[in-house]
Structure 1
Amino acid sequence: MPNRARARSLLVRLAVVTALAGTPLAAAWPSAAVSLPPPLGACSGPQCPGTYPPPHNGDFVGRDASINVFVGGDYTVQGRAAEVEGQVVTLGGLSIAKNGGGAFNMSVVGVGSRVVPPDGTDFVTVGKGVSVAGGNTLYLGGSDSKTTAWGNLRYGTTATGTISIAPTGKAIQDSGAGAKYADLLPVIERFSHSMARQSATGTVTASSGAVTFKGDGTSKRQVFNVPGDLGGPTTQVGLAFTGIPAGATVIVNMLSNTPTINTYTGTGLPGDQLTQLRPKLMWNFPTATTVRLTGGAQFQGSMMAGNPAGTTTISTPGMNGRVYLAGNLVQEGSGGYELHSYPFDGDLPDDEPPVVHGRISVTKKASDTGRPLPGAVFQLWRESNGQAGLQTGGATPDTAVGGACTTGADGECRVADLSLGSYYWQETKAPNGYELPRPNVSGPHELTAENAERGVAVTVEDAPIPPVHGGIYVHKTDETTHRPLSGVVFELWRETNGRPGLQTSGPGPDTKTGPACATNGTGRCDFDRLDLGTYYVREVAVPEGYVLPGNPVSGPYVLTAENAPKGIELRLTNKRGEPDKGKGKGKGGPRH
């Protein structure tokens, strides 16, 4: 694009920036200036360097126990991104799938500040799983000409693909890997939103392909509010700051929901203005759903993004500063693009009102009796992806809160100390003897400032599993003619005493089930609506001209869940003979 056209495009894009640069996002609140709490912000530990050199490939210059990159969602590496330096924490998953494959170095890099995490610590923590695509290799740890840096990869679920860890580091599967750092997510949200509420102390103007941030020359905290982009998808701009007192913290609030910064400014070399500002320069994206940092620079300064549903894409040759995101990170680029470890030493506003927390409980009851049910398993989810309803999978699921909870004798699961927001209860397993409801999700349940003190109580019901019944169906025929035989009387007995065979008397007999049954004109006698179990059929009377079998008991017949729908069909015969009031004897017997 010709320079004149580029400048005109830039001026149009930033016209609203100039108009609104002195207007706060909201009324200014009184705010204290505080440093980010460890392990965020400044370098920590006994081996922090006195000064940070520009990116280089020499010996290690120190050790830093603070987090350099924090991702509240998922961390994805693609394109030809090469490295990320310092301690890395992602509460979601880590996916490395570079175009054409290749190496991806983590925590210890070839070129950077060469300030690495302390030996033996967790260099990389992943709350969920690690996935390294075919042809890619994750390298963790390394050495310089004098020393070796070694640390661990700690992950929550699974680790697949090629992972190379420098001795004596380890890959450690730990289902609670992310829990140690979960409390940092609301901290990042809080500081990001606090910065966005500050009144601007300076103005932002664009001219001839450059953007100038002009401070007031006195304030210890210089704040610039930018409603639009800095540059565009194909337009790189220069960045310059004036009127910034020595030692002041500089905050640039990018207030668009889809901001882009595309710049050629930044080298990291001594004497460069942004190199001097870098330790106290913070780029803030409080509400953005998509953030894009690109251009040809060694980008200077730290960044913070406060939207848990947001995704930040970094595709600059170098990112020199902390990266603290409540949402997702995509690191990409067309060359050996890198994130370098440089601390943030500035003071930020902390004007958040007292954080209100509350609790949400669910009580499981039986739909037929109203009694509390133990043994139901629930998972609590926080609405975090901006989509209606609960999403537990896919690219952007909602956020699981803690682990699964099993109801006790009182039928209750409870989760306390929750931040305000929308939540869902998902029942993943019903108690024994009860059906999982369809749908098995309740909500959204709103935890608000008004109801937080008493909490939100939810009652859900499970219906008992309908009992499975079956039948035993007797077909009685004449042994010789095979014609149906009516008037044969049978008893049904259930096996209940645990002894083989049927016992109808004496101590502990089996149990007679229902009334006796006489075969009808088709020779059929049906025993219906039977519970699952083991049964015997006992023939007790025959019509005139027939005799009872020598063994009037047949069985055992086992009625199971599998055969209950069809039932058990019995085909029995009788011989003719001299009746003896229904108690005649003969050699005929049950045949089935």
Structure 2
Amino acid sequence: MRTSAAVATVLAVTGAALAWAPAASAASTECATNPLGTAGLYAEFVEQDSVRHSDSEGAVAVGGDATFGDPKAPSGFSVGYQLTPADLAKLPGGHSLVVGGTLSANQVVITKGTGVAGKVVNASGGKNFGVDGPIAEGASPVDFGKEFTTLRSLSAGWAGEKPNGSVSASGDGVFLTGTDAELNVFAVDAADLQKARAITLDVPVGSSTLVNVLGATYDMSANATYGVYYKNVSGGAAVIDDYNVPDAYRTIRSKLLWNFPQATTVKKNYTSWPGTILAPGATVHMGGPGVGPGHVNGAVIAENLVTVPGAETHQMTFAGCLPKETTPGPVVTPETPK
């Protein structure tokens, strides 16, 4: 249940950085209480269908059908290992696993909390157990239609927030630099972001970060992005995100949200990804053939979720401050660094 340290060389910054810096001032920083609503309680919150392997340390909610584990792989799936009693008390019905449709299960282990599904099927055909842990067949305590209507509105609204941070490029890296102590907003084209072999965040510890990634598709394997880094708060080499980074960087990622308001497809490779992925209209792929599993040190909110064996989501849900924006406005169009 731990991400191994990535083997990567920190990108050397050479030459003058090429950047665009919007003239707009900082976005409104009035916080919304639990800005993601019910979705913010889960490590995985999926409107339609989900195919999962390995584990999620947090709670999992799927509005449609879920295929968890695969007797042919073979693989199983565990849920809720890092949930606390306080976490469980906040979940609808106290369920750490919610499936609105049919759960096709092969060696699914509910380590903490309980589960509920419209129907439970032992996908192994009797060779292995279906679900180990308390689970019942019944109605979902989550109104996924209502929640995702709100999430899409929020996603579109946040995409209209005026950036107050700069996006720069040097060598084959992209750098997101913000100085606001409360909220740093960035806008970047998905095509430009996926060109980067390394992505580096430079924001104050304790601030919230909103990265609006604009475009219909994003694929980390397009140019083999090998790491997401934090600028070293002690002045040394940049620090790559991993499960056990020092506390300062954990604080940064706990308040980091990647917003994909226009995306229909978001693909991760093997790289550890910090923060919450909000892609309410997209199918999110965590890993794939030839690209590794790809962990998320945060949460995934998506229309559909597809993963390969080895992919994990960790119990690091969003704890940041985002504007109380519910009415979609004009989307900020990022300029391409030249």
TM-score bracket, shorter-length normalisation: 0.7 to 0.9
Deviation of 1:151 (Å): 1.7
For residue 39 of structure 1, give the secondary structure of its aligned residue in structure 2. Answer: helix
For residue 349 of structure 1, give the secondary structure of its aligned residue in structure 2. Answer: coil
Q: How does 1:57-96 map to 2 (within 5 A)?
A: 66-77=41-52, 81-96=53-68
Deviation of 1:122 (Å): 1.8
Distance (Å, rounded) in 2 between the aligned partners of 1:304 and 1:285 = 6
Distance (Å, rounded) in 1 between the aligned partners of 2:75 and 2:23 = 46
Out of 281, 285, 301, which is 1:324 matched to? 301
Distance (Å, rounded) in 2 between the aligned partners of 1:96 and 1:236 = 33
User: 2:22 aligns to what?
Assistant: 22
User: 1:199 aligns to what?
Assistant: 162
- The answer to whether the aligner puts 1:227 opposite 2:154 as a matched pair is no
**More strand, by proportion:** 1
Deviation of 1:230 (Å): 6.0
User: 2:217 aligns to what?
Assistant: 258
User: 2:277 aligns to what?
Assistant: 303
- The answer to whether the aligner puts 1:156 opposite 2:118 as a matched pair is yes
Name the amino acid aligned to 1:218: D
User: 2:38 aligns to what?
Assistant: 39
Distance (Å, rounded) in 2 between the aligned partners of 1:31 and 1:353 = 16
Out of 287, 303, 312, which is 1:338 matched to? 312
Q: How does 1:249-398 map to 2 (within 5 A)?
A: 249-261=208-220, 262-265=225-228, 266-271=241-246, 274-297=249-272, 299-307=273-281, 310-315=282-287, 316-325=293-302, 327-332=303-308, 336-353=310-327
User: 1:177 aligns to what?
Assistant: 140
For residue 296 of structure 1, give the secondary structure of its aligned residue in structure 2. Answer: coil
User: 2:180 aligns to what?
Assistant: 218
Which structure would you say has the larger RCO, counting Cα contacts within 8 Å and 6 or more residues apart?
2
Cα distance, 1:330–1:318 mapped onto 2, change above 3 Å: same
Name the amino acid aligned to 2:197: V
Deviation of 1:121 (Å): 3.0
User: 2:171 aligns to what?
Assistant: 208
| Residues 69 and 108 in structure 2, CA contact (< 8 A), matched pair in contact too | no
Name the amino acid aligned to 2:186: F
**Percent identity of paired positions between Structure 1 and Structure 2:** 22
Alignment deviations for residues 162-201 of structure 1 (CA, whole Å, 9 cap, x no partner): 454445x12x222x32654442212221221121110111
Out of 85, 98, 101, which is 1:128 matched to? 101
Name the amino acid aligned to 1:304: L
User: 2:238 aligns to what?
Assistant: none
User: 1:237 aligns to what?
Assistant: 197
Cα distance, 1:32–1:139 mapped onto 2, change above 3 Å: same
Deviation of 1:227 (Å): 0.9
Distance (Å, rounded) in 2 between the aligned partners of 1:290 and 1:260 = 8
Cα distance, 1:257–1:99 mapped onto 2, change above 3 Å: farther
User: 1:541 aligns to what?
Assistant: none
Distance (Å, rounded) in 1 between the aligned partners of 2:66 and 2:164 = 39
Alignment deviations for residues 458-498 of structure 1 (CA, whole Å, 9 cap, x no partner): xxxxxxxxxxxxxxxxxxxxxxxxxxxxxxxxxxxxxxxxx
Distance (Å, rounded) in 1 between the aligned partners of 2:113 and 2:280 = 32
User: 2:149 aligns to what?
Assistant: 186
Name the amino acid aligned to 1:353: T
Name the amino acid aligned to 2:59: Q
**More helix, by proportion:** 2
Deviation of 1:127 (Å): 1.1
For residue 92 of structure 1, give the secondary structure of its aligned residue in structure 2. Answer: coil
Using structure 2 for the length normalisation, give the TM-score. Answer: 0.72
| Residues 85 and 339 in structure 1, CA contact (< 8 A), matched pair in contact too | yes
Using structure 1 for the length normalisation, give the TM-score. Answer: 0.43
Deviation of 1:332 (Å): 2.1
If you compute each CA radius of gyration, which structure gives the higher value, 1 or 2? 1
Count of aligned pairs between the two proteins: 286
- The answer to whether the aligner puts 1:106 opposite 2:78 as a matched pair is yes
For residue 267 of structure 2, give the secondary structure of its aligned residue in structure 1. Answer: strand
Deviation of 1:89 (Å): 0.8
Distance (Å, rounded) in 2 between the aligned partners of 1:189 and 1:70 = 13
Distance (Å, rounded) in 2 between the aligned partners of 1:32 and 1:107 = 34
Alignment deviations for residues 304-333 of structure 1 (CA, whole Å, 9 cap, x no partner): 1132xx2111225421112222x1111225
| Residues 231 and 260 in structure 1, CA contact (< 8 A), matched pair in contact too | no
Alignment deviations for residues 112-168 of structure 1 (CA, whole Å, 9 cap, x no partner): x56586399322111111224xxxx232223xxxxxx3522x11245342454445x
Distance (Å, rounded) in 2 between the aligned partners of 1:305 and 1:277 = 20
Cα distance, 1:228–1:166 mapped onto 2, change above 3 Å: closer
Distance (Å, rounded) in 2 between the aligned partners of 1:270 and 1:343 = 16
Alignment deviations for residues 348-374 of structure 1 (CA, whole Å, 9 cap, x no partner): 1222239xxxxxxxxxxxxxxxxxxxx
| Residues 217 and 265 in structure 2, CA contact (< 8 A), matched pair in contact too | yes
Instruction: Name stretches of at least 5 consecutive residues in structure 2 with no aligned partner.
Output: 1-10, 229-240, 288-292, 329-338
Deviation of 1:214 (Å): 1.1
Cα distance, 1:264–1:276 mapped onto 2, change above 3 Å: same
Name the amino acid aligned to 2:148: L
Deviation of 1:254 (Å): 0.6
